[in-house]
A and B are shown apart, each in its own frame.
Chain A
């Protein structure tokens, strides 16, 4: 097995620059991701949080190059270990996927093939990228199952997916993703289909993977607070706010982030009305030209009809809002 490249503590593993992912539809072009930039350093966990249609899942599919037509990367760079994934050939991408770059989906039942035993599916991932015997691969699978906390792994490798609970299935897909010690693990809503006590088990497992660089995509700010060092808040395909989790969730600067946090019901608000954000997400075909949040923003101004530039309000904390000084693009 080719060992993963040694990662020094602040080496940038993935650098996304001005990513544009568009979907050409008969009704017009949808800019699902519109100008996304970020770096993930080795062994860190970056969260992307957003509601439906924010572009967070399209981001993970873009990095993995798993977009189905009419989706396409229309611009920008996805630099991974010095290569631009946006322009890599499909054959080269195939070598990276499942080895250096792994994606874990929300629903483990659809990620696993129902007619094969789970052990075989995980060993397939190992055998595709390394030159070891089937017997050695099986041993490695049992080791992996033990690492992800599957009890009685020697027996479990021969089970079919439908014999396992949702939490166990998600452990299998994480074992599969970790099989080749990836440089970057992308988790797209990894616990959304799971119950809260099982979610706690899986998050605990991911926290234990301290040597791994993780991009975590979720709609749940609680999960971000629990898991991430840094967070990007997306809305309508754009980055609204990006910074250290503590700063963004503790003292949000963007009205959208603030509204999102205030919408989460808590005991403190019992008996009071929630600070709901008015309206709903605009149609992706009719995104406002400026700030996508402007039509729902309580602090919108005429200038919001043009696009604000991201302003660095504190080291590593950027906000795209006209309320910040220096937002002129």
Chain B
């Protein structure tokens, strides 16, 4: 960021993780004499994740929500910015220390089939993290047997292989694996989007129960706006690598202040009848993160855009109590 005023993020007292001006850029090779050709997947995001909350992250494909989630637990190396977690900056911490810190941060993936090793029994899959953490065999076995029951499966399932389970059961196994090291933060990237509705609700119920039982903090990434509204305490909306709105879930869905959020929420099918909200049909597609528009990333599709939107990047500002939006003209139409 050059010469622009740094966005002033909220300062939560009970923050488990503080993210400041985080950038995750990919590529950067470019042509021999040309400028480096970066894909700006995450471009200057600041936020706090509070102890014990579920922070939902929504946005369309390519908005950077998964890259952000992966960067927060250092599955991606950030280009710049800081990620403070327990007083240490994950963005710069040495790898050896990172390995120890990772016990506190786990991930649940979208597709439980491709995130489970087909040649490993469920017992080995769940225990793998415990082995790496140097926990002895008896303790390991006891914990694995505990975990499988916690996620609603049975001990006899432990010696089977992933293909013997349904999608919902596999996701339960993925959750058991994530919980094995008793993490503080769980990043769940589309954890229910591969599941049928009737099974999806079982997994959501399980995640809620576990959160209470183990005092977990969730970063819940999903494209399904209904699921995110249901499970989240707060919700952040991303567009082209930036956080464009962040508020308490109820407030965000009832009073979206940024035009993109308004369009996104109005597009939920069947929602028009239920909420009486007028459908906003956006023109065109999302611009390329290789070459994002100047100023506000949404201005090329925004019906409220004015010259200022092209000239100046809007930063997240508190437009209403606990409600942050990155827009020069926030408000409802």
Contacts and interface: CB of A to CB of B under 8 A. Distances in A.
Given A196-B225, A197-B60, A270-B229, A222 B249 contact: no
A100 to B, nearest CB: 29
A273 interface: yes
B272 A264 contact: no
Interface residues of B, number: 40
Interface in A256-291: 259-260, 263-267, 269-270, 273-278, 280-281
B168 interface: yes
Interface residues of A, number: 41
Interface stretch (A26-34, A154-162, A198-206): A198-206
A305 interface: no
B269 A226 contact: yes
A148 to B, nearest CB: 14
Nearest to B196: A51
A265 B250 contact: no
Contacts of A223: 269-270
B281 A196 contact: no
Given A200-B269, A220-B269, A265 B201 contact: yes
A273 B208 contact: yes
B210 interface: no
A165 interface: yes
B118 interface: no
B60 A280 contact: no
B192 to A, nearest CB: 9
A167 interface: yes
A276 B267 contact: no
Nearest to B282: A197
A221 interface: yes
Contacts of A199: 267, 269
B61 A259 contact: no
Nearest to B272: A226
Contacts of A264: 197, 201, 226
A258 B6 CA distance: 51
A274 B267 CA distance: 23
B201 A263 contact: yes
Given A196-B267, A198-B285, A276 B201 contact: yes
A200 B269 CA distance: 7
Would you call the interface of chain B mostly helix, strand, loop, or mixed? helix
A265 B230 contact: yes
Query: Which of B60, B166, B196, B205 has most A Cβ within 10 Å?
Result: B196
B205 A263 contact: no
Interface in B70-102: none
Interface string B92-135: 00000000000000000000000000000000000000000000
B290 to A, nearest CB: 14
B12 interface: no
Contact of B204 (A197, A198, A274): A274
Contact of A263 (B197, B229, B263, B281): B197
Given A165-B285, A168-B285, A259-B198, A265 B60 contact: no
Contacts of B295: none
B60 A195 contact: yes
A274 B231 CA distance: 10
A269 B199 CA distance: 17
A275 B231 CA distance: 14
A235 to B, nearest CB: 10
Contacts of B285: 165, 167-168, 198
B250 to A, nearest CB: 7
B270 A221 contact: yes
B163 to A, nearest CB: 13
Given A165-B285, A264-B197, A273-B205, A222 B270 contact: yes
Which 7 pairs between the two chains have the least Cβ-Cβ distance? Answer: A222-B270, A265-B230, A222-B269, A195-B60, A225-B270, A200-B267, A51-B196
Given A260-B197, A264-B201, A277-B202, 4 more contacts: A168-B285, A195-B223, A221-B270, A278-B202
Interface of A: 51-52, 151, 165, 167-168, 195-201, 203-204, 219-226, 259-260, 263-267, 269-270, 273-278, 280-281, 296
Interface of B: 60-61, 166, 168-169, 196-202, 204-205, 208, 223, 225-227, 229-231, 249-250, 253, 263-264, 266-273, 279, 281-282, 284-285
